């Protein structure tokens, strides 16, 4: 335990606002960086799909050999030879049953899916950062409430000790009050341990060094909005999860069109142009280089391909795409229902917590006032020790309840913005 507090004391202070935390979590997280790299790959796939309408190649080759042949009873003759060839070929698909366009649409829809994955990952990270930030601030509020209760307990102990010194209270009452004070001090130490652990979680999430000590500069609002929130039609429509399903539907539709095009013929225009030369040996001195002068050739024409039977491969691809379409329709419906339920639950929780704010605040004020009154009455001998302990416990519970309620309301409002699909970065002051 001593080592823990020494580590905290020696750590470097790092001021961190909620806006800074959001920025840093986006920059430090490897999952988001990996998803963004997938977008680059998807962009390349789109470019490749657009170029697949065309074909082009350039080739060049050549060879040379030296040789001599000596038939029996005849003079030897040169068998050397040389040849070369260089040409370029180009083609363009004129019609493929929509296959080329479908392939492009599939690649573009895949790019849209990747982009929505990036947005989904980013929103998850931002919400994690916000929740972790307010978790630390919530523990700070609980620590402040516990410290207030400790001060009140110390005042109570002083009153009891004064009466005991005057012979008006039993030593047992003093011991009970001291035990209560030590118990609260232990609770405070436990809360500080929780604070340290929560700060470490936030440091890890943001990619900070574990030795850093965070000083969170934004505070939980002590005067939250109390007006009830309502659920409107269209809440949640901006969620990237819905956009991802729609992009997946477009991708599957392109898959279906691409599969159907496999049963149709394709027509391409093909052109080629080149030059070539060849020679044979004319003497024992080897090939005559003058005979390697180029011969030019060029051609252009149409090429048609059609596969009327491919062992039902095209049919199966079509059926697979149709089943995929039905699955995506069910997924879309399920996603819409889930998001709608998330919005309603989040709005209900915000309203419930907002309704509790004035009640809990009034309870805390009354508990504080009651404690002061009971302390005065006990000092005058007009209240029992049980009344004093009860008032002290009520004050401590009310302070902790108010601190917990404020941070829970803050987190609930974040959850509502999340469910609606709002920009979570606007949560930061």
Q: Give the pLDDT of residue 312.
A: 87
Asked if residue 1 has pLDDT above 70, the reply is no
Q: Does residue 363 form part of some domain?
A: yes
Q: What is the pLDDT of residue 39?
A: 92
Task: Give me the CATH number covering residue 416.
Answer: 1.20.1600.10
Examine residue 98 and state whether it is found in any structural domain, yes or no.
Answer: no
Total of domains in the chain: 1
Strands 212-216 and 12-16: parallel
Q: Does residue 118 fall inside a structural domain?
A: no
Read off the pLDDT band of 72 (50, 70, 90).
confident
Predicted structure pTM score: 0.81
What is the arithmetic mean of pLDDT over 168-182?
A: 86
CA pair distance 107, 92, nearest whole angstrom? 20
Residue 404 has pLDDT above 90, yes or no: yes
Distance (Å) of CA 110 to CA 8, 45, 262, 316: 48, 9, 21, 22
Contacts of 114 (CB under 8 A, 6+ apart): 35, 38, 39, 42
- pLDDT confidence of residue 311: 83
pLDDT at position 5 over 80: no
The lowest-confidence range among 28-42, 81-95, 163-177 is: 163-177
Q: What is the pLDDT of residue 57?
A: 93
Give pLDDT, residue 292.
64
- Predicted pLDDT of residue 50: 93
Name which of 65-74, 83-92, 192-201, 202-211 the model is least confident about. Answer: 65-74
- In this prediction, residues 155-171 reach a mean pLDDT of 86
pLDDT at position 291 is: 61
The answer to whether residue 101 is domain-embedded is no
In a domain, 151, yes or no: yes
pLDDT score, position 81: 78
Q: List, in order, residues 6 or more apart from 259 with CB less than 8 Å away.
A: 314, 317, 318, 320, 321
Round the average pLDDT of the chain to a whole number and report it.
88
Quick check: is 32 in a domain?
A: yes
Let me know if 177 is exposed, middle or buried by CB neighbors in 10 A (0-12, 13-18, 19+): buried
**19-23, 274-278, 288-292, 346-350 — which one is most confidently predicted on average?**
346-350
Write phi, then psi, for 61 (nearest 5 degrees): -155, 160
The answer to the question of residue 280 being in a domain is: no
3-state per-residue secondary structure call for 6-33: HHHHHCEEEEECHHHHHHHHHHHCHHHH
The burial of 67, by beta-carbon neighbours within 10 Å (0-12 exposed, 13-18 middle, 19 or more buried), is given as exposed
CA R_g for the chain: 40
Asked whether the beta carbons of 167 and 187 are under 8 A apart, the reply is: no
Q: What residue has token string 């419906």?
A: 333
Question: Which has the closest alpha carbon to 414: 119, 130, 25?
Answer: 130
For residue 197, is it within any domain?
Answer: yes
What range defines the domain where residue 325 resides?
Answer: 2-52+125-263+312-427
User: How far is the C-alpha of 301 from the C-alpha of 90, rounded, in Å?
Assistant: 11
């Amino acid at each position: 335990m001593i080592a823990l507090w020494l580590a905290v004391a020696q750590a470097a202070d790092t001021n961190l606002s909620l806006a800074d935390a959001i920025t840093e979590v986006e920059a430090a997280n490897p999952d988001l960086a990996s998803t963004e790299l997938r977008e680059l790959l998807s962009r390349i796939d789109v470019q490749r799909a657009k170029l697949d309408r065309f074909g082009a190649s350039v080739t060049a080759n050549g060879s040379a050999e030296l040789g001599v042949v000596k038939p029996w009873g005849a003079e030897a003759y040169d068998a050397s030879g040389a040849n070369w060839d260089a040409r370029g070929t180009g083609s363009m698909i004129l019609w493929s049953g929509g296959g080329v366009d479908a392939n492009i649409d599939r690649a573009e829809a895949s790019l849209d899916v990747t982009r929505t994955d990036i947005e989904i990952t980013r929103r998850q990270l931002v919400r994690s950062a916000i929740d972790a930030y307010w978790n630390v601030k919530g523990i700070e509020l609980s620590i402040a409430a516990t410290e207030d209760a400790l001060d009140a307990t110390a005042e109570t102990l002083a009153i009891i000790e004064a009466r005991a010194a005057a012979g008006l209270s039993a030593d047992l009452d003093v011991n009970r009050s001291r035990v209560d004070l030590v118990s609260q001090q232990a609770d405070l130490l436990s809360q500080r341990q929780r604070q340290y652990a929560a700060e470490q979680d936030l440091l890890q999430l943001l990619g900070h060094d574990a030795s850093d000590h965070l000083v969170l500069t934004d505070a939980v609002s002590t005067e939250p909005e109390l007006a009830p929130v309502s659920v409107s039609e269209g809440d949640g429509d901006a969620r990237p999860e819905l956009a991802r399903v729609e992009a997946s539907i477009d991708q599957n539709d392109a898959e279906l069109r691409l599969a159907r095009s496999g049963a149709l013929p394709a027509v391409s225009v093909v052109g080629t142009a080149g030059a070539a030369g060849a020679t044979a040996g004319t003497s024992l001195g080897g090939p005559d280089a003058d005979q390697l002068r180029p011969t030019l050739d060029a051609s252009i024409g149409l090429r048609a391909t059609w596969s009327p039977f491919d062992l039902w491969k095209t049919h199966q691809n079509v059926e697979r795409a149709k089943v995929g379409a039905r699955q995506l329709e069910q997924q879309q419906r399920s996603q819409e229902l889930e998001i709608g339920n998330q919005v309603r639950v989040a709005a209900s929780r915000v309203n419930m917590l907002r309704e509790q704010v004035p009640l809990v605040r009034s309870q805390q004020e009354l508990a504080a006032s009651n404690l002061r009154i009971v302390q005065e009455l006990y000092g005058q001998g007009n209240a029992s020790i049980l009344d004093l302990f009860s008032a002290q416990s009520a004050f401590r519970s009310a302070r902790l309840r108010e601190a917990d309620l404020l941070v829970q309301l803050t987190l609930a409002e974040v959850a509502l913005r999340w469910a609606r699909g709002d920009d979570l970065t606007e949560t930061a002051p």
